[in-house]
Structure 1
């Protein structure tokens, strides 16, 4: 009888450890989103608002017609988003440097750009989440050239999330009227692009900014809403446990055919960035999930060292966006996931294997200063949360 009771206690403890939830009291926002305070970081680069080209590039985002750009230049296979992602990344880099250097002139310029973007309702006319239900699916008829309306929504959502980070950094610079303009814009964008994701049911895939989860956390930080942050982290951890499989593969990402390695590393970078923020803010990550992240990191390395073995893992479920054409193959770690090596070591303790093509190609994105898949540059981390 004593053995039975002991066994039951062990089972209950194990079950509770897997289902442990983040509580309201656990949440302690990092004032500057990814750090307690912004420090100078060489990896960010030296972009400044004192440079006219920087101001011009960021100004080009004010009221930008993303929908026309997307319709003309993008399809289900490829999204050309540089005209909205690059300006906001330059905005972040110049703002970060202005804050770390306490450069009053640059802070004023950054604040003015922040307000201009808000006044113009930048990207608010982009496809919203609820509009997607009336749009055709990506890869319609398995055609890579078919329009992917989700992309038009996704990139507007993520660029807005990056705008939010700059807003957090510049919040103290805003006077009352400026704050009202920015806050009103942020709330309108949040309702259209992020709020609908809070209760969204998903079965597959883990992509940029944790499928919107990182954006929700950023908004929670801006609005000082700990309850929202708590709810989001609990929901996202449950989803991570669902799509990250026991052997380290990711449901959907890892099984996208000739681009499986590319999308696996993309998803891993995103989840590790999210988990880093969650831990920084006080969340405890269940051991079951931690072990899955370690496995997923090891699978990333397997794809580098033995691509055929990585790809040999079969998947029984549906994967409508699988890349089956060899001509579209990409056999390297995703170049936009330039924080992956740092995140793997900080969050999982696994060192990324040498991937020469990745290391070369990621240089193009590193010059922008910030990893757009996670909202910060993991090479600037000063805290090891292991």
Structure 2
């Protein structure tokens, strides 16, 4: 087995780069998903209009459409810096205007979302290009931890600033953080995207013709399906069990995100120690089994001890699963077309998450929470089977490399 401490020391410069980039990536996403709904409602914007944030959020799902531009035009560093400038400018514009819900606000929010999604494409491509089987677990541990930390800063830190000093100060602070992130990319070298054509079709056809492509697509769609189905109903379950909003926020968001970060770090170390194929299956089993904690909590009266145990265990296992899952997706991409291919795989993951969310409420209402939580475990089985197939493919590829 590899020594995780030695691996970490070896890759410190890379991990610092990844941490910087993924904090920059998580910040605008947190602003759109966590801060803007609060901002709009605090200014009396109708709920129906606030729902349009979901429409501009499609930028993260559809980013694969312009990912070939990022792969073929200029350098990844150029795209990151240009996107961060747009992120900083759009947040400053929202703060200066103070026109919540106005056409100007929606234009700035749309620019923020599209700049953020474009930045995601370039940053993910850099991460894929810099990753290899020896460091991919650590890369994704740091990636998840710093991305989640940025969401906490955006959703919690900036809203706290708004509470003390007003919304103008909150958005200007967010803009300043984006500028700091931009300055911190000064040491990012100008990596040029190797592909010379903007058309994704030739390379996409070649990539889709890989013998293991069916397995890659299956893992992308199914590995997190049961976990995603459960996640959409966790907070409604806490509410229906009689817990207050403040306690729910503490248990599911503060403790939950903290445990996810710890789980992601543990998952990255597990990938180093066990190898990607075995880790993908083993943490997949943990991820699936963790859903049982909510089923048990629901069946035993949703007592506080059982509820907190479920929150801790589910988030730890989910963080481990996400680290292994993203490591697998990264290793499945060709480095020369990393932006396009990784954007496509994460779009499939997003589609799976959206479908799970759409049907979760209907199923929970018709089955009841106990049966629903057990059912999410059953939904996780196909993803585990896909992970086993991926393990065999990775083992076979490794044997060919070592011949």
TM-score normalised according to structure 2 size:
0.27
Task: Give the number of the structure whose residues are more often helix, by fraction.
Answer: 2
Task: Identify which of structures 1 and 2 has the higher relative contact order when contacts are C-alpha pairs closer than 8 Å and 6+ apart.
Answer: 2
Q: TM-score, normalised by structure 1?
A: 0.28
